[in-house]
Amino acid sequence: MNAKTHLLIVDDEEANRDMLARRLERHGYGVDVAASALEAMAALAARAFDVVLLDVQMPGMSGIEMLREVRSRFTQAQLPVIMVTARHESVDVVEALDLGANDYITKPVDLPVALARIRTQVSRRQAERALADSEERYALAVRGSRDGLWDWRIDVDRFFFSARWNEILGYPPEEATGQIDRWLDRVHPDDRERVRAEIDDQLAGRSSNFESEHRVRHRAGQYRWVLVRGAVVRDATDCPVRMAGSVTDITEGKVADALTGLPNRVLFMDRLGRLIDYRRRLGGMDFALLFLDLDHFKNINDTLGHQAGDQLLIHVARRLEQGLRTVDSVARIAGAERSASPVGDYTFARMGGDEFAVLLSGVRGVADAVSVAERIATLLADPIELEGQQVFTSTSIGIALSTTSSGPAADMLRDADTALYQAKAAGQARYAVFDHAMRQQVVERVQFETELRQAMDRREFVVHYQPIVSLSEHTVTSIEALVRWRHPARGLIGAREFVPIAEDTGLIVPLGYWVFDEVCRQVAAWSLVLPSLPRLAVAVNVSARQLAQADLPDRLAAIAARHGVPTRMLEIEMTESAMIANLDQVQAVVLRLKAVGFRLSIDDFGTGYSSFTYLQRLPVDRLKIDRSLLASEQESSPTALGILGTVVGLARHLNLEVVAEGVETPEQLERLQRIACGFGQGYVFLEPVAPDPMSRLLLSGGTSPSPAPYAEADLPA
């Protein structure tokens, strides 16, 4: 056997593929091996193979699923596939042959049989290649019954369509002849000009071969994707007299999602466009679009790997497919072709990434759409088994109705996406229904994000400082640095308004390092004039995104060293929610922060899953009780005081300092003193101020003169 004949063996069992590879190599074949379908698809993208030996049963993407993907890219003639199965009369074999497998062999592999079948496929492929070199039209005919044939007599403008061509477009086989316009008139309006140009290029000799992917209208009204190939026959004067070729229905490869098998964005948008057109022409039918996004999907990819993420998407697709009622007619590819009428069913699609969409036709109002959204939430409530552990997921859903969204399909999808954004902003694991006010909010949000990005370049951020006071001695014991945005039109904007957006966009990382650098510069300046400053610590907030960076401790230590500030003078504040979101990863960063000398505190304690368990794993120095616990309407009740007292007592037991944030009234201060809370921070002492007023306070000895509030103007000049 010619050594240039190259085989690809795909089998997850190492012993099976290695043994078969060695035996085939001894018979003169070049052999590559792949342990998974994903690895095999990468190999097919990298080089050409003559035959693929594909195991049916594999974890992850099965052999059947890989075969479907292969056939979306290669015909049976271009790449023969021999399935390998241990089940002699399995339905897998029938399904594989239906999907385009060329042959099959059984395990344990009978080598003489395998060699004979490989030779058959190689010989057939070589014969078809030779035939294609000599006669393009007959080579196309040999490609098999899945392709349609066409023949255009240019001189008399007579066009022949094979029975398969008509079958692809839903016409009876007897309609075999016509003119070329019978084809071109059915081409999608967006593709028609391009197809005509490609034909003209071929006729004029500007292209070596004709190959065109485009959409053609099916008799039922929807569009099918086809791949049309052809070649020109010329007379003695080099004038084109005939053009012939094949047509292949590639709709499934174009409109099916390779991972889940669901319709993809292409089919979904086509379906949505047809519904919009149907409603515009006939009226009286409402429909809804549900746009889904899995919550915290990135965490799955980051912690368990992308293969686990793919498996999660497959599980979600199957659960939604099977869980929605049978009468809901959740459609796959075939579902889009059941009838010419688009009324009364669903199309469920994967739009890309972790986004899915459901198109509900024939709804009676928003209640129908909300009912489906709630059912979807219920379907995803149960855990999914991934990589040997249970994973919980949820979805946020944006709903757009045909009664409130107008315009083309892309506009309705945009409206559903806008509602999805609102659902996520409201806390995730919920749904939101689009209204026109949302669009304005999104426009304002985009404008705000743009201004926020520009603010970094324009140096519009400033750092203010607020003292933390000993409640027993009325002295300043530490300071918190708080970033503010000096907006050119709106004035000073607090962190609570822009930091969440900076976190979402990733701007929080460069902003966080800028704040830390600015604080270190200010501490260095204060140290020159305030001998008592080393006894104080200046606290700086770090974001969840910063905590996810393994080099955070070393970068912060380097900034402090550049300004000559000892790390013991700096306190790193981390929110409770950021700590719990990924405790294992955060723990390593926190331990390193402590090792290089920073003080550590937990900010906003009480807003998340407050637990003293994780505090035992982390070298934290201080807890900062969130203002929401202190500002409760029931704050003076025995229960509220009991909760605060419990937090203070447990923190003291763990040798942690406790700071109450948001202390605004003398009454709140008195209650904190009653439960022996050590420290307080808030407007009752001083609002956040610029560096100069804080300098005056520190120069005055850092004494809080009274529990009554005082502002920047009250500080000594």
* Separation CA 458–CA 475 (nearest Å): 37
Tokens standing for 108?
């344990």
The pLDDT of residue 425 is 77
The secondary structure of 297-366 as a DSSP string is: HHHHHHHH-HHHHHHHHHHHHHHHHHHS-GGG-EE-TGGGGS-S---S-EEEEEEETTEEEEEEEEE-SH
Q: Which region holds residue 387: left if phi is over 0, alpha if psi is between -120 and 50, else beta?
A: left
Q: What is the pLDDT of residues 443-501, one digit of tens each?
A: 788 888 899 999 988 999 999 999 999 998 888 999 999 999 999 999 999 998 999 88
> Residues 40, 10: contact at Cβ < 8 Å?
yes
**Cβ contact 121:51 at 8 Å:** yes
pLDDT of res. 51: 94
Q: Is the pLDDT of residue 89 over 70?
A: no
74 pLDDT tier (thresholds 50, 70, 90): very high
- Cβ 65 vs Cβ 261: under 8 Å: yes
Q: Is the pLDDT of residue 427 over 50?
A: yes
Structure tokens at 703: 């004494």
Q: Say yes or no to pLDDT of 132 above 70.
A: no
Question: What pLDDT is attached to residue 221?
Answer: 79
Q: What is the mean pLDDT of residues 80-102?
A: 85
Q: What is the pLDDT of residue 31?
A: 93
Three-class secondary structure of residue 377 per DSSP: helix
User: Assign residue 459 a region: left if phi > 0, alpha if psi is -120 to 50, beta otherwise?
Assistant: left
Please check the confidence at residue 333 and state whether its pLDDT lies above 80. Answer: no
What is the Cα–Cα distance from 517 to 520, expressed in whole angstroms? 5
The model's pLDDT over 236-266, given as tens digits with 9 standing for 90+, comes to: 888 999 998 888 888 877 778 878 888 888 8
Mean pLDDT for the stretch of residues 500-517:
91
Q: What is the pLDDT of residue 327?
A: 36
Predicted pLDDT of residue 88: 65
- Cα 638 from Cα 650, distance rounded (Å): 18
Q: pLDDT tier at 284 (50, 70, 90 boundaries)?
A: low
Q: Cα separation of 452 and 502, whole Å?
A: 8
What's residue 283's pLDDT? Answer: 72
Cα gap 395→606, rounded to integer Å: 26
- Give the confidence band of 329 by pLDDT, cuts at 50, 70, 90: very low
Mean pLDDT of the chain: 84
Higher pLDDT, 334 or 529: 529
Q: How many residues does the chain have?
A: 717
| Strands 6-10 and 51-55, bridge-based pairing | parallel
pLDDT band at 325 (very low <50, low <70, confident <90, very high): very low
What is the per-residue pLDDT for 281? Answer: 77
Range name among 44-48, 169-173, 306-310, 377-381 with the lowest pLDDT average = 169-173
Between 121-125, 477-481, 533-537, 547-551, the lowest mean confidence (pLDDT) is in: 533-537
**What φ, ψ does residue 288 adopt, rounded to 5°?**
-135, 150
pLDDT of residue 134: 60
pLDDT reported for residue 330: 38
Query: If you search the block for the tokens 């957006």, which residue do you land on?
Result: 501
pLDDT at 704: 52
Mean pLDDT on 23-41: 93
Coil, helix or strand at residue 211? strand
Q: Answer whether residue 518 shows pLDDT above 90.
A: yes
pLDDT at 334: 32
Measuring CA to CA, which residue among 331, 347, 363 is closest to residue 433?
Answer: 363
Average pLDDT over residues 120-148: 67
List the structure tokens of 437. Answer: 């006010």
Is the model's pLDDT at 636 over the cut of 60? no
CA distances from 121 to 11, 26, 63, 102, 396 (A): 20, 19, 19, 8, 50
Lowest mean pLDDT among 179-193, 335-349, 524-538, 617-631: 335-349
Per the model's pLDDT, the better-predicted residue between 278 and 135 turns out to be 278
Cα–Cα distances in angstroms (integers) from residue 333 to residues 94, 224, 271, 329, 442, in the given order: 20, 11, 11, 12, 34
pLDDT at 338: 35
Residue 649: C-alpha distances to residues 56, 117, 371 (Å):
62, 78, 47
| The most confident of 214-228, 342-356, 477-491, by mean pLDDT | 477-491
Between the alpha carbon of residue 367 and those of residues 62, 295, 364, 424, the distances in Å are 40, 24, 8, 21
Gap between the Cα atoms of 105 and 83, Å rounded: 6
Token reading at 165: 């061509």
pLDDT at 146 over 90: no
Structure tokens at 284: 């009286």
Q: Please give the pLDDT value at position 455.
A: 93
**What is the reported pLDDT for 344?**
45
| Cβ-proximal residues to 2 (8 Å cutoff; 6+ apart), any chain | 28
pLDDT at 717 over 50: no
- Whether pLDDT at 372 is above 80: yes
Calpha distance 661→356 (Å, rounded): 42
> Highest mean pLDDT: which of 59-63, 445-449, 530-534?
59-63
| Mean pLDDT along residues 49-69 | 92
Nearest to 55, CA basis, from 22, 112, 104: 104
- pLDDT: which is higher, 278 or 694: 694
Rounded Cα distance between 596 and 588, Å, is 13
Residue found under tokens 């005055």 = 700
* 43 Cβ neighbours under 8 A, 6+ residues apart: 8, 32, 34, 49
Q: Are 99 and 51 in contact (CB under 8 A)?
A: no
Mean pLDDT, residues 313-323? 86
Phi, psi for residue 196 in degrees, rounded to 5: -60, -40
Q: Is residue 663 very low, low, confident or very high in pLDDT (cuts 50, 70, 90)?
A: very high
The helices-and-strands tally (H runs, E runs) of the chain is 26, 28
Prior bond to 108 cis, omega within 30?
Answer: yes
Q: Where is average pLDDT lowest: 104-118, 387-401, 633-647?
A: 633-647
Query: How many Å from the N-terminal Cα to the C-terminal Cα in the chain?
Result: 96
Tell whether the model's pLDDT for residue 282 goes beyond 80. no
| Banded pLDDT at 294 (limits 50, 70, 90) | very high
